[in-house]
Amino acid sequence: MTVSAGPLLEFDHSFARELPRLSVPWTAAPVPSPALLVLNTELAGELGLDAEALRTPAGVALFVGAGVPEEARPVAQVYAGHQFGAYQPRLGDGRALLLGELVDRDGRRRDLHLKGSGRTPFARGGDGKAAVGPMLREYVMGEAMHALGIPTSRALAVVATGDRVVRETLLPGAVLARVAASHLRVGTFQYAAGDPEIVRQLADYAIARHHPDVAEAANPYLEFYRQVVDAQASLVARWMLVGFVHGVMNTDNTTISGETIDYGPCAFMDAFDPGTVFSSIDHGGRYAYGNQPGIAQWNLARLGETLLPLIDEDLDAAVGAATEVVSSFVERYDAHWASGMAAKLGLETPDAALFRDLLVLLHDQRVDFTRFFRALSAQLRGGEARSLFVEPDAFDAWAARWEALLPPDRGAVAAAMDRVNPVYIPRNHIVEEALTAATEGDMAPFHRLLEVVASPFDERAGLDRYAEPAPAGSRAHVTYCGT
Ligand code: AMP
Ligand code: MG
């Protein structure tokens, strides 16, 4: 297919132009019969794109990488990465392409990237393809995170290819078009680290794109590192506060921008349990819910190693300075998490003992993490949260301590709590149900779910099932890697 999409979009390609050693020009594989499954009209608007034009055959062709405008210069990006702790010196976009960069309505530069667009030189043994289910999972999870106010890449569209993809079974194929602040990863720095000149160019590019203010600092590269550490500390704290489990926190899935990226076997937990794992491939629980902050810090240490030659000519001095920054992750994370937890509980200031005792209680009694906080604000309006507990006396004792710390205007406290505690998250059993229906050709449950999670804080009539955990006795859901 060679429909020209030239007038639809104006691409820049600063990454390909300024860092030519970190990508290879590549084009998408042709697909038999592209059909638009879902288009993000709100995001299209943000990008200044005409949603109606994107629905035409030329628009849909663009989303599978056919008929891209001449100036787009699509590339496959190369990166390295630690996967489940093991270093892979050369990963890269095995089934993805960076189509180019768009400047949005607010003047922000954003990548437009395809996933499932065919094999590239980095495909290794992979087929270069993606299936409808995992691409729609990425779509709905990203939209839910965005609605929760958590930094994330977002899907612009999912297009069914008409192809069959071979996994455990034959599945309908799809391409995801997504938008991100950039696709610079810790793994990009790990790959570049082989050549001091390239790592400097990459750091300069990343600074200009994400942290331009550090150029003024006494040691810009150290300050850049500090800002990435803080962005990740804030991001992971936000995940923890909504019960999100990323599932594959490899260094190649850890961004420099501080956005959530590469939604694979991810999910939100129901009952609070730090050991929660959804991914079928995470046998050791490396990326369990409760391990996420420690893993983020570990990944950031890998980033720091690549920056040492830029931080100081003297290696000992560089190591000392970088160690101080990566160590600060703990206090940064704690501060982000504690202020977020205070807001969830309607408190003006954090209270570490109160928080710790609550988590022990929720864990011991396997209380649904999301429902708990809404039940707690309901309690301030005459409702109750104690029925969520098998042994409510322990909760009552905790709640008395909590209430004693609240500001006097309980109505205002409850309203503030409801602005930060969602009613609706994409519950895994409902996500699975919607993806199964979509795989069988029925998109209606997916669209309904999207609508629900797009307004997570506003409780609406008739949506009770979206606010409830998986029925008791249903088997623990497992999500597959989506490759
Ligand atoms: P992910 O776990 O999705 O972040 O992918 C890890 C690496 O495997 C990346 O380099 C991907 O581009 C590559 N990859 C995953 N699935 C495929 C596939 N089906 N074909 C080619 N490469 C793939
Ligand atoms: Mg990845």
Run of H or E residues at 445: helix 444-454
Q: How far is CA 255 from CA 151, 183, 195, 232, 235, in A?
A: 11, 7, 21, 8, 10
Q: Which of 75, 280, 483 to mutate to test the pocket of ligand 1 (most atoms within 8 A of CB)?
A: 483
Q: In this structure, is residue 220 part of a structural domain?
A: yes
- Alpha helix segments (H runs only) across 47-149: 51-54, 57-63, 132-147
Q: How far is CA 390 from CA 218, 452, 471, 478, in A?
A: 56, 29, 16, 26
Domain end: 343, 361, 392, which one?
A: 343
Between helix 315-344 and helix 410-420 the angle, nearest 10°, is: 130
The one-digit pLDDT tens for each residue of the chain (483 residues) are: 333 344 577 899 999 999 999 999 999 999 999 999 999 999 999 999 999 999 999 999 999 999 787 777 999 999 999 999 999 999 999 999 999 999 999 999 999 999 999 999 999 999 999 999 999 999 999 999 999 999 999 999 999 999 999 999 999 999 999 999 999 999 999 999 989 999 999 999 999 999 999 999 999 999 999 999 999 999 999 999 999 999 999 999 999 999 999 999 999 999 999 999 999 999 999 999 999 999 999 999 999 999 999 999 999 999 999 999 999 999 999 999 999 999 999 999 999 999 999 999 999 999 999 999 999 999 999 999 999 999 999 999 999 999 999 999 999 999 999 999 999 999 999 999 999 999 999 999 999 999 999 999 999 999 999 999 998 766 556 665 454
Same domain, 17 and 162: yes
CA–centroid distance, 107 to ligand 2, in Å, is 27
Count the neighbouring beta carbons within 10 Å of the beta carbon of residue 280.
Answer: 12
Same domain, 199 and 253: yes
Same domain, 215 and 166: no
Q: In this structure, is residue 114 part of a structural domain?
A: yes
Q: In this structure, is residue 461 part of a structural domain?
A: no
The amino acid that residue 94 corresponds to is G
Same domain, 149 and 226: no
Residues 41 and 248: their CA atoms lie apart, in Å, by 29
Run of H or E residues at 267: strand 267-268
Q: How many domains does the chain have?
A: 2
- Taking the CA of residue 481 as reference, the ligand 1 atom at the shortest distance is 2
CA–centroid distance, 4 to ligand 2, in Å, is 29
Count the neighbouring beta carbons within 10 Å of the beta carbon of residue 306.
Answer: 24
DSSP 171-202: EEEEEEEEEES---BHHHHHHHTTSHHHHHHH
Token code pair at residue 5 = 């999409």
| Of residues 360, 361, 341, the one with CA closest to residue 351 | 341
Task: Say which DSSP state 95 is in.
Answer: S
* 424 three-state secondary structure: coil
Domain end: 165, 180, 195, which one?
A: 180
| 270 annotated active-site | no
CA–centroid distance, 112 to ligand 1, in Å, is 18
- List 25's β-bridge partners, or say none: 75
Residues 185 and 191: their CA atoms lie apart, in Å, by 10
- Ligand 1 site, CB within 6 A: 91-96, 122-123, 126-129, 248, 253, 262, 264, 483
Phi first, then psi, for residue 475 (nearest 5°) are -70, 150
The amino acid that residue 350 corresponds to is P
The amino acid that residue 203 corresponds to is A
Model confidence pLDDT, tens digit, residues 329-372: 999 999 999 999 999 999 999 999 999 999 999 999 999 999 99
Q: In this structure, is residue 357 part of a structural domain?
A: no
Same domain, 101 and 6: yes
- Taking the CA of residue 92 as reference, the ligand 1 atom at the shortest distance is 10
List, as ranges, residues with CB under 5 A of the ion ligand 2. Answer: 253, 262
CA–centroid distance, 391 to ligand 1, in Å, is 46
Domain that residue 166 falls in = 2-180
pLDDT at residue number 477: 61
Q: In this structure, is residue 467 part of a structural domain?
A: no
* 120 three-state secondary structure: coil
**For the chain, how far is it from start to end, CA to CA, in angstroms?**
25
Unique residue bearing structure tokens 């289910």? 133
Same domain, 154 and 59: yes
Q: Which of 95, 168, 279 to mutate to test the pocket of ligand 1 (most atoms within 8 A of CB)?
A: 95
Same domain, 110 and 168: yes
- Alpha helix segments (H runs only) across 243-387: 292-311, 315-344, 352-364, 369-380
Domain end: 309, 343, 377, which one?
A: 343
pLDDT at residue number 170: 97
Phi first, then psi, for residue 103 (nearest 5°) are -100, 120
Same domain, 224 and 241: yes
Catalytic residue, candidates 163, 230, 252, 418: 252
Token code pair at residue 328 = 């600060």
Same domain, 316 and 289: yes
Same domain, 105 and 172: yes
Same domain, 208 and 146: no
Q: Which protein residue has the closest C-alpha to ligand 1 atom 16?
A: 483
CA–centroid distance, 453 to ligand 1, in Å, is 28
Q: Which protein residue has the closest C-alpha to ligand 1 atom 22?
A: 94
Residues 58 and 73: their CA atoms lie apart, in Å, by 17
Token code pair at residue 172 = 């309908």
Give 316's Cβ-side CA count (13 Å radius): 0
pLDDT at residue number 480: 56
Same domain, 97 and 46: yes
